[in-house]
A and B are shown apart, each in its own frame.
Chain A
């Protein structure tokens, strides 16, 4: 397993080195892409100058709130739909088609409803993540083995303790998957909103740098953005995998 990880590291290092060589030799023009080493240097300069700290914080807070809303709201709606099969039957095609529509088209509407501030961005992020959580909550509740509920009944557990002590743990693996996806999608939604029409945030910084043909800043910001997103995703993925292994489920 260690050998695989080493090869993986070499592959990634090789890919970066290849891009570096292509940029240095002029195969990729400097106006198109900076060599990765220069991106890193530019990012270091940017971090030291502190010009993006406020925007970074703005983005991070928005994403955190959006994820919290998506997870809590998605769970509540999922549990509610599970209890009302008639409504669920009507809504489920909408859930299935939801992710094929770019929800950022609702951004102008949200600005009118919520004002030109951070709220529309949070709303877009939450909307992007919530359906993944709803779908996975439904999945998790569907797959609770019936014998669990029967056992709870034979122990004369009341509805609340059945829900908390039996149903919730049994549905947990799916809920974790839902949380994982909600984080990924809310992140994408929030950042996409910032790119589209934003008042602040990393996305707006990138758009300004792009419009000013300021490739150094733009690539530095993209490097920052993509590497932080990757770190978050890898951490969440790893957390999901560990829990699954501990629970002994595929």
Chain B
């Protein structure tokens, strides 16, 4: 979208309320669906809000949040360190990149949820399995985008580093990583969203703690208020986090 000329004041003022109208429309559809299927199928917006209040007051909820947060942070950390390292190596050695590029693409588009029995057999129930789940979701965009970022650095940049006789470590730290940073950040942005999804899915299948576990409990108990409450919270966090990261991403790509 190009920059349009400044719109007249009238529509601009009314446009400000657009999100409100949209929100109201969503809430009314939600309420209507609720009236159709009943509280067991879909809790009403009011019931959901009430459940969120109850959740905020319960220590059980916060310990599950902490547990999910911990698994999420560890997954991101591992994915960033391992993913950028592998991506960097594959980006630097062109042939290795050519060899692995299709393999990485194929692996990254596998439905990783199907791997849950294998992950469970290898790691058992608990923290390691959840972190593994988050990491296998987050690591591929980081690897692929770091590799592409390093590959598309203009040759003159690397030549300059060579003519300055920078050591390999200096070259990576002061030239290659900064030059590939916008791409790496895009990988991180995608990775963060996928890691959250991965950890939640891992908890749904393979855990006795965390938000994903609470979701699965809600599913088993047909407790729609908890499911909707947690979904609203997750969606809010994901959307605001996504919007913030996207803003940084756009600035980096300038």
Contacts and interface: CB of A to CB of B under 8 A. Distances in A.
A222 B119 CA distance: 13
A91 interface: yes
A96 B219 contact: no
Contacts of B235: 97, 101
Interface in B72-106: 95, 98-100, 102-103, 105-106
Given A113-B41, A222-B117, A108 B222 contact: yes
Contacts of B205: 195
A89 B18 contact: yes
B18 A86 contact: yes
A195 B113 contact: yes
Contacts of B105: 233, 237
Nearest to A31: B121
A86 B105 CA distance: 36
A230 to B, nearest CB: 5
Interface string A188-223: 100110011100000100100010000000100010
B49 to A, nearest CB: 17
Interface in B220-242: 222, 224, 227, 230-231, 234-235, 238-242
Contact of A230 (B1, B15, B106): B106
Best-surrounded residue of B37, B99, B222, B227 (most CB of chain A within 10 A): B99
A33 B197 contact: no
Given A97-B238, A184-B109, A4 B95 contact: yes
Q: Is the interface of B mostly helix, strand, loop or mixed?
A: helix
A105 B227 contact: yes
Contacts of B204: 102, 104, 196
B144 interface: no
B106 A234 contact: yes
Contacts of B215: 102, 105
B243 A96 contact: yes
B143 interface: no
Interface residues of B, number: 55
Nearest to A112: B41
A226 B243 contact: no
Interface string A83-118: 000110111011011011110111111001100000
Contacts of A184: 109
Contacts of A87: 18, 22
Given A8-B99, A91-B22, A105-B227, 12 more contacts: A8-B102, A87-B18, A89-B15, A97-B240, A105-B230, A109-B37, A109-B42, A142-B1, A195-B205, A196-B204, A210-B117, A237-B105
30 contacts: A8-B102, A86-B18, A89-B15, A90-B19, A93-B243, A97-B235, A97-B239, A97-B242, A100-B197, A100-B234, A100-B239, A101-B234, A102-B200, A102-B212, A102-B215, A108-B41, A108-B222, A113-B37, A184-B109, A191-B111, A192-B201, A195-B114, A195-B116, A206-B117, A222-B114, A222-B115, A226-B110, A229-B110, A233-B106, A233-B110
